[in-house]
Structure 1
Amino acid sequence: PQIPLAPSLPPSAALRGSRPPPRPRPSPPPQYVAFASLFFILISITTFCLETHEAFNRVINKTETVTTGNETGTQVAVEVETEPFLTYVEGLCVVWFTFEFLMRVSFCPDKRDFVKSSLNIIDFVAILPFYLEVGLRGLSSKAAKDVLGFLRVVRFVRILRIFKLTRHFVGLRVLGHTLRASTNEFLLLVIFLALGVLIFATMIYYAERIGADPDDVTGSRHTYFKNIPIGFWWAVVTMTTLGYGDMYPMTWSGMLVGALCALAGVLTIAMPVPVIVNNFGMYYSLAMAKQKLPKKKNKHIPRPPQPGSPGFGSPGADAPGSPRGARRPPACPLAQEEVVEINRAGERRALGLGWGWGGHGGGLGGLGGVWGGSA
């Protein structure tokens, strides 16, 4: 009698176990955290701007005791104080940013990549001055006051929080990719401008001395261009077609140089700009196409074989559908972002961290299709 064989699984079912699980949709808590983070970013930037308005500042007189040698006297110091409620609002925002930063540090699987991320460095630099200022405010020593005055000057680092918006808006990330891809074009633009500024600043300096008063030894009494370095400012303003009007040529020869400078500036800027605009259009089209893909993005983005799957470790396994040894084109940064995001989601599932914190970029994994952001 024949021994019945065990029923074999179809190939699709046999391979199903080696495939990664489908990408889960973001749960409500990460979305709420993302909206809260965006809200506090906007509130913090608004508070920073309002602190410079005269309506929210008041001048107060403080009496201080000053000891000089064996003599002790009083001194009245005039200080500008910001309205307390703005300080409280900023403190509330800093508490939220601190909580968010600590959570991302705790749940990030790769601490080294987290420390290297520019956005995380910006977060830390924007948070630290507030705590130092609060700690030194109660001290009365001269060194503490000097440090406190320095911290008040470097408050401008708080405006760097606006770069945190790149985690929530795909358009800002597209702009960042465009700037990185157009580095050569920007360098070419800077070189052209530097050469033009040097040439036309020198030309305007000597052109303005044509027909000068013979009694004027320096030949600069009738003109704004006393030396060539002053002409640098005029050349930059003219070549960029800005034209403040604070400096202008006074002679016919200087006017001719000014006209040539304006025409050269238009041509200089017009040459590399189309390449930069083309790069932006390419990345923006890719980003919009990625957002319009179906929810199951794993079917559209090839992933490397997982351990235990057929073809794992083979030479051509990392390039599905391509011949062995074929040279792959450079990957698009947006596609790389998507692959990294999928891999991070798998790591979080493996670690049991389903709440969505982490990533070396420090983003929140629950934005999904609402903001189009990635970690």
Structure 2
Amino acid sequence: MGKIENNERVILNVGGTRHETYRSTLKTLPGTRLALLAASEPQGDCLTAAGDQLQRSPPPLSPPPRPPPPSPGPGGCLEGDAGNCSSRGGGSDHPRGGCEFFFDRHPGVFAYVLNYYRTGKLHCPADVCGPLFEEELAFWGIDETDVEPCCWMTYRQHRDAEEALDIFETPDLMGGDLGDDEDLAAKRLGIEDAAGLGGPDGKSGRWRRLQPRMWALFEDPYSSRAARFIAFASLFFILVSITTFCLETHEAFNIIKNKTEPVINGTNVVLQYEIETDPALTYVEGVCVVWFTFEFLVRIVFSPNKLEFIKNLLNIIDFVAILPFYLEVGLSGLSSKAAKDVLGFLRVVRFVRILRIFKLTRHFVGLRVLGHTLRASTNEFLLLIIFLALGVLIFATMIYYAERVGAQPNDPSASDHTQFKNIPIGFWWAVVTMTTLGYGDMYPQTWSGMLVGALCALAGVLTIAMPVPVIVNNFGMYYSLAMAKQKLPRKRKKHIPPAPQASSPTFCKTELNMACNSTQSDMCLGNDNRLLEHNRSDNYREVVITGYTQAEARSLT
């Protein structure tokens, strides 16, 4: 019985923390990494065939299979594809018996994984980052859909955060010179492919260096000091243009001119007047339009993707706000009736200039957060509109008939004592009441109408209050992530250590760096790019001469 119990017991050493369980427990989740380990046939005091079983695990969890050692013993090593593993007999090191396997993985997460084998319920730890937990589940061969519903939102939080961080991705929010790492800058700006389309000649090389700099200069105000200066200049012209647009409507800047034209052989003279804007404001607007035109042309020339640039809403606003000014200048010298009609129409559509205020989203993170919050809260807004529409329809109908109930007998149409002549008029009253504005232009005058008005106000408060917290939470999440993105330090290039020399103890070792001896052989590239095969118990021998990269050489062997 003791012998059988020792063979049934398994000790899993994960990151230095020992976990003891039974093979039957590990077999409860077939197809997982530990289930394959437990399915190995015992030989002596240890699972000597476990390495072979793990090598035949599903492709996403392990590399292509290798043949097992020709003569494994009880002290052989269990070789998995993602961690150091060693197996020891239970008699010498473990008085209670059993076989120990070592995995160089996160010990805290493995406690939840092992508990899943024991209880059949997979919970997500609150103190572990989501991507780490997801990576550990993938290594142990557990599907993420097995996470319990109570922990699913916690598990999904990291993906929502990653998507939000991608939205607020900027080249270098902390400043710095773009030229420090041009390739990285080109990749972050999305022009690593578009910049090299001109060929390998010198001209394309200069264009490749110039394009990311010019694009970042006008697109990202945090990339350099010059970009900040251009951003401030653009902000200044935006504010001046909006101020000019507002002042044009003031009577102090409007000049009334007599446009009366005499009619030959006519007896009646019709006086005609035309309002013209002060020329000073026109000149100021012209200077602003010149700057916006220059900025628009530079951005479209150095844009990495012309089609995406044209489809961008802010760029469409730029073009629509610029075009009427040039059309008005071009048609101002014409005196035909058609030209005057077009000029009148262009003066009416001047209001599109106010849309330039949305260009401020390029320079203020808070405005971008607000825009992303509105897009992320689309479902909540639709729900709010549906609630309001139902309430408006119900209470407009109720107020119409409630006012009829309290009408005087000699006034059957209730036209003398109420303002609710029909249901469509009640729509306006219901909207104003449910949003708690209460203009006072329409109000019930009967006791039944007052009761309906009170119910309408209460329903409006409850209806609007339900989706608002969700929208506020979205704004808080996006704003905190945007601020975290700004404070994130700039990442430098990772240090790549040189290849180990032949005298190094790690030369020609596998990624597992196994601590025990093995008869398996490793493949690696030598200093002269020769592929060497290292048998851990023998010396090196050359296998293939140069011509392949390390990845290609591994695939050939």
TM over 0.5: yes
Residue 409 of structure 2 corresponds to which residue in structure 1? 214
2:369 paired residue among 174, 185, 191:
174
Matches within 5 A, 1:47-196: 47-65=244-262, 75-196=270-391
Tell which deviates more after alignment, 203-212 or 180-189: 203-212
Residue 27 of structure 1 corresponds to which residue in structure 2? 224
Q: What is the distance in 1 between the residues matched to 2:298 and 2:184?
A: 26
Tell which deviates more after alignment, 273-282 or 139-148: 139-148
1:278 paired residue among 473, 477, 499:
473
Distance 1:73 1:108, change over 3 A: farther
Secondary structure at the aligned position of 1:76 is classed as coil
* 2:328–2:343 Cα contact (<8 Å) kept: yes
User: What is the deviation of 1:232?
Assistant: 0.6
Which structure is higher in RCO with an 8 Å CA cutoff and minimum separation 6?
A: 1
Deviations 1:256-291 (A, max 9, x none): 000000000000000000000000000000001011
User: What is the deviation of 1:179?
Assistant: 0.6
| Equivalent position amino acid for 2:225 in 1 | P
Residue 200 of structure 1 corresponds to which residue in structure 2? 395
Secondary structure at the aligned position of 1:296 is classed as coil
Q: What is the distance in 2 between the residues matched to 1:297 and 1:137?
A: 57
User: What is the deviation of 1:71?
Assistant: 6.3
* 1:213–1:219 Cα contact (<8 Å) kept: yes
Residue 39 of structure 1 corresponds to which residue in structure 2? 236
Secondary structure at the aligned position of 1:209 is classed as helix
Q: What is the distance in 2 between the residues matched to 1:287 and 1:257?
A: 45
Q: Which has the higher helix share?
A: 1
Matched, 1:287 2:482: yes
| Equivalent position amino acid for 1:235 in 2 | A
| Equivalent position amino acid for 1:86 in 2 | L
* 1:22–1:296 Cα contact (<8 Å) kept: no
Deviations 1:152-171 (A, max 9, x none): 11111010000000000011
Q: What is the distance in 2 between the residues matched to 1:49 and 1:182?
A: 32
TM-score (norm 2): 0.48
Q: What is the distance in 1 between the residues matched to 2:287 and 2:266?
A: 44
Secondary structure at the aligned position of 2:413 is classed as coil
Deviations 1:294-336 (A, max 9, x none): 133777xxxxxxxxxxxxxxxxxxxxxxxxxxxxxxxxxxxxx
Matches within 5 A, 1:9-20: none
Residue 345 of structure 1 corresponds to which residue in structure 2? none
Secondary structure at the aligned position of 1:48 is classed as helix
Residue 370 of structure 1 corresponds to which residue in structure 2? none
Distance 1:150 1:298, change over 3 A: farther
How much identity, in percent, do the aligned residues show? 80
Distance 1:20 1:27, change over 3 A: closer
Q: What is the distance in 2 between the residues matched to 1:148 and 1:63?
A: 18
Deviations 1:173-212 (A, max 9, x none): 1111111110000000000000100100010011111131
Distance 1:63 1:276, change over 3 A: same
Structure 1 spans left out of the alignment, 5+ residues: 1-18, 300-375
Q: What is the distance in 1 between the residues matched to 2:286 and 2:417?
A: 56
Count of residues in Structure 1 that have an aligned counterpart in Structure 2:
279
User: What is the deviation of 1:214?
Assistant: 2.3
Q: What is the distance in 1 between the residues matched to 2:493 and 2:471?
A: 31
Tell which deviates more after alignment, 282-291 or 51-60: 51-60
| Equivalent position amino acid for 1:158 in 2 | R
User: What is the deviation of 1:252?
Assistant: 0.7
Residue 455 of structure 2 corresponds to which residue in structure 1? 260
Residue 514 of structure 2 corresponds to which residue in structure 1? none
Q: What is the distance in 1 between the residues matched to 2:275 and 2:241?
A: 21
* 1:65–1:73 Cα contact (<8 Å) kept: no
User: What is the deviation of 1:109?
Assistant: 1.6
